[in-house]
Amino acid sequence: MDIQMWRDSRGRAESAAEALRAAMALLGLPEAAAAKVRPVVTHSGASYVDLGMIRSDHAEQLAQAIRMALIRVH
């Protein structure tokens, strides 16, 4: 993987991680929960977001928000 591919992948991962952190903030989750969200780039250049270990009630709040958004769309 060349450096430009890594930068592009890192940018996508950072953007996605920031979007999740923003959603968590809107839900009122503590900053400590959002701080565990981090961008990751694999050795092959794939972009991922590591959510870290989050409390089950916070995960349920995220899941509920996603369900509600999907219900509104459909």
Cα torsion 11, 16, 17, 20 to 10°: value is: 160
Which positions ≥6 away from 5 have C-beta within 8 Å? 45
Q: What is the DSSP letter of 38?
A: E
- Span 28-72, pLDDT tens digits: 999 999 999 999 999 999 999 999 999 999 999 999 999 999 999
Q: Full-prediction pTM beyond 0.95?
A: no
Residues 5-26 as b or e (16 or more Cβ within 10 Å = b) = eeeebeebbeeebeeebebbee
Domains in the chain: boundaries: 3-73
Measured CA to CA, the distance from residue 55 to residue 36 in angstroms comes to 11
